[in-house]
Structure 1
């Protein structure tokens, strides 16, 4: 497409980013994923909050853009269509990414809900207060989004894994997509229909969100295969909190009272340690905290006590075999 030059830089396709390294440009893109991120200044020790967006357009399906966290960027969710202005193209880890500066601007032209009904998109684009070149790009990106969603839906119907439970047609109105879930700011009960992407142990989480490993990745890479120690511990069977849980300072965070018992007493036993599962659908991904009771349901109603007893008996058998072998 022809570049339209303004104070914000030329409006370019993502596929043309390599020709603008070191320069400032405009992008009109669809948000695929939103990842919060923290960086620490080595000189001052101050922590800066940034938001990493995985975006795409009709010329390139994936590209990373880093924004400063502010009132506008904090409201961005997967599925939004953005006009990013004054974004600098930089080389990063043998690739390219866009980085916001103090002069950058972000406009949310369309949110994920505007694209739910394709019939109303044309009217929305016509009434959008942007220039002709931007409107033309907005139309192409919108058509690309609709086409991509339709293709994903068709492929999902054609290639249905045997381990997946297909949603009943009459239940579709009872479930939200993840992009509709993210804007919810008040505590409430909602239903979503999504698949589990990976399980992340709480012990591997860090403030910088670095080094997150799924259970499979951890046990494949480290050679440590005692998965029971990672999942089972002593704690309260009702509230699901570990008995020996500590904070970063080494102090115990175990509450005196159990919030799930009318008598405020903990019921001590073997429990599943709290862990995170990342669930995803076509619109995005979100982490979900899983505690003991939910973990039991997730693991085919097998209790932590049963897992622990099975592990102990098997461990004793292995020890006995080794001793007899010597």
Structure 2
């Protein structure tokens, strides 16, 4: 395959990416992993983007997002590829590459372990690339031979290149008694055949919130929270992640139209977590998908209100929302103000659910007034969680429902904590 467009920038090492923010560059890299980020409708699914993790002789790991379906289908973990016209962007202190409409991908070497049969000189000689690019290719190959990345690349079962079994060792002590199943990797979790609870270590990659409303191409990034944390005037972040709902079961009881696909079409009549079956209505975190990863897999976890509070440092949605409103008092930035200021109206809007809602708790609710800026603390925690490639693994406890698929809540987060040393 040859490139269909010209080069718009220099061929650079990944270690110099921060010096070219906003520019187009060319990258010759090894592909560690490739992960689709998608959501599903009852009629089918749509892949929004594909995230790939690449590396070269100057920097072992670097994130790149691909937004074209045809190009994304060409990416195979274990390949050495030339990425042309990559746009470099920075979110906070995280630099990443973006493959856009004028970008292209040229596979150079399929599966690095083919070097064992042909050798470096022959493979490099067969590539139709310039002298400078060939020199870079040799450096990447020598780096892979030295570090052995290609030979320990882990593929999911069923992948056409999955040839050998991978044996991973635990890096923590198992407790003597535990109701949950301890898994050594996300790959093991994804292969569980019985519904159960599981514990594993993983790093946070992304928070994904699929909306039911039809979004334009330019608005699709609104679904990816990491892209929005560094926009100074994104006042919709709070109202997208926080809604009116039940604090116990985490079910949204909102009347707005821009709901998430993780929400049921109709609000549940009774609360499954309450002794008296009545909803405790307040501001809650809207259900979202938390994408986590380790060396073997990249998978989404369904996160509801109580689990989200743990993830965000035990800061409730009500505290965040109240602090946010205090800072934006007098500004029309919140489409749910009328609902929250008129709790009785919520019961009326819920229709058939009104009999199940604990209205006495709602009518007694008062705004939380505090000198602490919980909204700012919450933003800092979000940014810390989503520092891709820099965050340390967390320990997750999840419930696995094998009757569901991954995008519809097969793995739901129950708890999270920092693993002990």
Q: TM-score, structure 2 length as denominator?
A: 0.39
Q: TM-score, structure 1 length as denominator?
A: 0.48
